[in-house]
Amino acid sequence: MSEKNPLKRAADALRGAVDGPEEGIPGKPGTESPSVAEPVEPRDPPPPKPDQTGPDTVSPTGQPTGADQARMAQSGSSLTNAQGSRLPDTDHSLKAGPRGPVLLQDHHLREKVMHFDHERIPERVVHARGSGAHGVFRSYGTAAGVTKAAFLAEDVETPVFVRFSTVLGSRGSADTVRDTRGFATKFYTSEGVFDLVGNNIPVFFIQDAIKFPDVIHAGKPHPDREIPQAQSAHDTFWDFVTLHTEATHHTLWNMSDRGIPRSLRTMEGFGIHTFRLVNAAGETTLVKFHWKPKLGVHSLVWEEAQIISGVDPDFHRRDLADAIEAGAYPEWEFGIQTFPDTPDQTFEGIDLLDPTNIVPEELAPVQPIGLLTLDRNPSNFFAETEQVAFHVGHLVPGIDITDDPLLAGRLFSYLDTQITRLGGPNFPQIPINRPHAPVNDMLRDGFHQTAVHRGVAPYRPNSLDGGCPFTAGADMGGYVEAPVRVPEATKVREAPESFADHFSQPRRFWLSMSPVEREHIIGAYTFELGKCYEQAIRERALQVLANVDPELCAGVAAGLGLPAPEPTEPLADVEPSPALSQVGHTWPTDGRIIGIITGEDGDLDGVAAARQAVLDGGMVPLVIAPKGGKLGSGGGALTVQRTYATARSVEFDALLVAGVPGVGEDAYGARDAKAGLPSVPSTADPRVGLLLAEAYRHGKAIGAAKGGQESLEAAGIPLDAPGVIVGDDATTVLQQLVQLLGTHRVWSASLPLPEYTG
Ligand code: HDD
């Protein structure tokens, strides 16, 4: 797939520039590709782009760092070594004569290779594959009654850095695998850093952090062959989640469409644990945090996700960066569910300390408290996205923890892991991790210490540094833990009885799904368990599913060719939660990508009009033709952005065939004809057929105008099928396509939606 940025071109076009660059030719939109001259003279460094400086912050010594940052960036006309000494040559080692041995005294060679040898740091033990973005959080002030956190007061703006991730894969793994996604947000507040380290799934596999190494060992590749990469479809994962049935709820979410998001921009986020808010009067409220994407929650279908893993493994990372670069800034509303801080810490019978539970939004509505906008791409992946270090213990006054045993273990782990990953205890001094609040700690020395601390008395009380630093009580904005009563108890290694309910919450999730979502879940379980070698594990998984729902169990059992077992305990009597279904809503179509298939003999006027209509609607048109270059001539010529060789259905949200598209020069039929070989005469390029058939199979809206119907018929797509629009005028067809796009996909009309999704 091309590396071009369709959204950026759309933005350029919207700003008045004409067509995007031709396929495969770098250059400014609308211009002929300029030849890039080889620089021969040193020149002054280009002025730094605004996003080339680190976060606007202060160093641990309280000194502004902006100037340091600029000095440390690659700048100046002459190449130097790391000590600032100018270099005449960096392409040849120092040798005893041109054909002689390389000399050990070549400091530049040794320094250059030594540094390269140490460029990599250990990837994260989980969530290694990630994509980040800068942004801003604007608070509505609606949470001010329940928390004294300064960044949640009315109209306060706080800079943020967000890192999205997959859990299981390595740093170079594909984006669209079936997995949970991390959604970690660093708020650089005026009272210090607050990290919300959440996921796109509101529950977790385990109830106690002591099992975290186990669940991750089970999910990661098998230790002997180190396969499969970034997958849960293997024996050890299913062995674990069927032996620890507390994992059933999270596993069910993973097998649902939530496990394969369409985009990072169309994912919800959840803080998962119950946290405790504290207001100015010292009153406490239990709370669950939510991120709600403005574009709605959308997913891929499984086949599509698998194709993308090969065609464009960076699909999510590219989509996020493209959208931000084009100015189509992704937005999420921040919300809270609040619960009274009662001694039993339950709500409507749901244990709030059990991280495998959600509280349905119908019981506790999500109240919006602010808006997150991601508006700046990192300028250096390593410095920012790789080195950012989140920690659930980075809290600010007004936000406190609860006794969720999963959270307790995390409070240890996140700090600990950075010591190995970032090489010592001074990682808070790395630019991306620096607080924006002044730091005045008494932590000293250690690996990678970059602060030049002053004073002689890093202890307190002292009389030598004027007594500084002094401590700050709650009245001076100090972080004072909520004085929560700890029950008198005996030390035990046990879970509370309420943690033993492993099936009622998964059952609620299943019952809340629309028919098509249920089909997808059954398909996902059947696929994953079908990849397991051990029959006993498949059978155990079916037993777990029988306790969730007989229809689910029977569907998976049928696919595996195994008998469906009876439940071993009574099915829970729970109400569905309509808010959990992704189907049945209408969403903005901003930034959606529409492929317009045409050719030399296509309906070029129709294409031009449809293309403009797509742009006017805030979406992205991509013209697809048999070969690159221009279609038509003169000022109205259309630039081809994808050819039949470079287009694949997965890149588009909807397709429009305008006129009869031609056959590409490189199509098999054309090649055979050129070689004088007998070939099946073809009026339709087989790649157009594949494009259309895949899009249709994946529930995408497809339109055809002015003879485009022939292509649909050649692809075996019934012209009266749901989601297929046929007409004479490309723009009219397009308008109907866009309406369908508002529901994300056209799920088969034969699958009625359940009543509650309306
Ligand atoms: Fe974790 C990273 C989310 C349980 C131990 N976790 C990590 C990241 C996210 C989460 C989003 C990536 C942060 C980044 O982008 O740098 N983790 C969760 C959620 C959990 C959870 C939502 C349950 C509700 N995690 C969890 C437990 C433990 C860890 C129970 C250990 C006992 N997680 C880690 C870690 C990581 C991490 C090993 C790896 C890299 C890092 O921390 O900085 O410490």
The per-residue pLDDT for range 576-630, each reduced to its tens digit, is 999 999 998 899 998 899 999 998 888 899 999 999 999 999 999 999 999 999 9
Written out in words, the top-level CATH class of the domain with range 504-580 is mainly alpha
The pLDDT confidence band at residue 89, using thresholds 50, 70 and 90, is very high
Of the candidates 679, 675, 698, 694, the residue with the CA atom closest to the CA atom of residue 748: 698
Cα→Cα distances 589→266, 296, 328, 583, 694, Å: 11, 10, 12, 15, 21
Cβ(129) – ligand 1 distance below 6 Å: no
Instruction: Output the pLDDT for position 247.
Output: 98
The pLDDT confidence band at residue 75, using thresholds 50, 70 and 90, is low
Nearest CA to ligand 1 atom 23: 204
**Does the pLDDT at position 64 exceed 50?**
no
Mutate to test the pocket of ligand 1, among 123, 125, 126 (most ligand atoms within 8 A of CB): 126
Nearest CA to ligand 1 atom 44: 414
Mutate to test the pocket of ligand 1, among 171, 197, 212 (most ligand atoms within 8 A of CB): 197
Calculate the CA dihedral of residues 317, 703, 694, 669 and round it to 10 degrees: -110
Task: Using CB atoms within 10 Å of the CB of residue 533, give its burial: 0 to 12 exposed, 13 to 18 middle, 19+ buried.
Answer: exposed
Instruction: Output the pLDDT for position 758.
Output: 25
Q: Average pLDDT in the 242-264 region?
A: 98
Q: Which CATH number fits domain 593-741: 3.40.50.880, 3.40.50.300, 3.20.20.140, 3.40.50.1100?
A: 3.40.50.880
How far is ligand 1, taken at its centre, from the CA of residue 166, in Å?
11
Tens-digit pLDDT profile for residues 423-446: 999 999 999 999 999 999 999 999
Identify the residue with better confidence: 573 or 600.
573
Closest ligand 1 atom to residue 209 Cα is: 30
The pLDDT confidence band at residue 686, using thresholds 50, 70 and 90, is confident
Q: What are phi and psi of 659, to 5 degrees?
A: 85, -175
Is 138 a known ligand-binding residue? Answer: no
List the domain boundaries for the chain. Answer: 130-433, 504-580, 593-741
**Does the pLDDT at position 477 exceed 90?**
yes
Is 163 a known ligand-binding residue? Answer: yes
Mean pLDDT across the chain: 89
d(CA 332, CA 320): 14
**Does the pLDDT at position 201 exceed 60?**
yes
Cβ(410) – ligand 1 distance below 6 Å: yes
- The dihedral through the CA atoms of 170, 174, 178, 183 has a sign that is positive
Instruction: Output the pLDDT for position 46.
Output: 56
Instruction: Output the pLDDT for position 670.
Output: 64
Per CATH, the homologous superfamily of domain 130-433 is Catalase core domain (2.40.180.10)
How far is ligand 1, taken at its centre, from the CA of residue 21, in Å?
41
d(CA 648, CA 692): 10
Least confident of 57-66, 71-80, 215-224, 510-519: 57-66
Cβ(405) – ligand 1 distance below 6 Å: no
Judge whether 504-580 and 593-741 match in fold. no
**Does the pLDDT at position 674 exceed 70?**
no
ipTM rounded to 2 decimals: 0.99
Cβ(413) – ligand 1 distance below 6 Å: yes
Closest ligand 1 atom to residue 165 Cα is: 15
Q: What DSSP letter does each residue of 560-601 carry, written as one string?
A: HT-PPPPPSSPPP-----GGG--SS-----TT-EEEEE--TT
Cβ(163) – ligand 1 distance below 6 Å: yes
Active site residues: 127, 199
